[in-house]
Structure 1
């Protein structure tokens, strides 16, 4: 299964998860009515998730390093400031919040299973290999960063 490491870009995995959630929306049990609270929670997740994604990419651009997750060895700088001082994976956390927004709008609590599968796959086949490579590349600096800043939140 190591052959899947760093093979599926996280953005593609996000799109596939959204497609699966959308395709199964009619089949999954949902609340009869999505009230104002779930709707508001959906919008909050959507805005914050989008903000995390944008800030994650923007910080990489500002620090002139690659936001492309397919080859972490190409990273020229270890970004630890801004949004990266709160979470090591703001773009991935943003994806989770965006998926959550869709779940809230659909009013289907079982969609949390898709989100859990997304997190598990992403952690195993993207984040852990990324961190291994960044650990080799940036050594003690990266280790100190991982001790100080949580992987997700």
Structure 2
């Protein structure tokens, strides 16, 4: 049995990464205030609201799909089944994508542009710290089935 078989990692990094990205954006907003141009207030509100609603729907759908697939929703627990239906047909990381969309939507709604690059940074760090390790875990657990899934489904979008 290899080191990735039992679980991807011992600490749930992804939620911490996104929380730290939000805190970094707030700190940057306090020390270096940035503003979104006020030219199309209704458009920015509609866009931010749409992104936030999309994030909530995607996140709930992804969690429900994992529960229905009888596997863990916690990123530091061992996967018992390979889930490839629901939002997992379109992206291998719908929960992390939902976190990213929520950060972008809040950044637009709250007129805090620092949340947008913080969301991009969270994607990069999550990919490096968590996603690659989770993928190794899934590869060791599900082998060729996971390889086929990776070939047909994008990591993010």
Interval containing the TM-score (normalised by the shorter chain): 0.7 to 0.9
Residue 25 of structure 1 contacts residue 106 of structure 1 at CA under 8 Å; is this kept in 2?
A: no
Distance 1:83 1:113 in 2: 25
Describe the superposition over 1:36-81 as per-residue Cα deviations: whole angstroms up to 9, x where unpaired. Answer: 111111101100011111111111111111011113xx11100001
Query: How far, CA to CA, are the matches of 1:13 and 1:54 in structure 2?
Result: 20
Aligned twin of 2:61: 55
Deviation at 1:32, TM superposition (A): 4.8
Alignment partner of 1:31 is 2:20 = no
Number of aligned pairs? 147
- 8 Å CA contact 1:43–1:101 kept in 2: the answer is yes
How far apart, CA to CA, are the structure 2 residues paired with 1:22 and 1:103? 10
The match for 1:12 is 16
User: Does residue 120 of structure 2 align to residue 116 of structure 1?
Assistant: yes
Cα distance between partner residues in 2 of 1:25 and 1:107 = 10
TM superposition score normalised by structure 2: 0.85
In 1, Cα distance between equivalents of 2:95 and 2:115? 20
Aligned positions of 1:50-129 closer than 5 A: 50-71=56-77, 74-129=78-133
Deviation sequence 1:8-53 (CA, Å, 0-9, x none): 5322222222222233324232135371111111101100011111
8 Å CA contact 2:69, 2:83 repeated in 1: yes
Q: Which runs of 5+ in 2 are unaligned?
A: 1-7
More helix by proportion, 1 or 2? 1
CA, structure 1 residues 85+32, in 2 after alignment: closer, same or farther (shift >3 Å)?
closer
Gaps of at least 5 residues in structure 1 are none
- Give the alignment's TM-score, normalised by structure 1: 0.87
Task: Supply the distance in 2 between the matched residues of 1:28 and 1:120 (Cα, whole angstroms).
Answer: 24
- Please tell me the root mean square deviation across aligned C-alpha atoms, in Å: 1.8
**Distance verdict in 2 for CA 1:110–1:91, change over 3 Å:** same
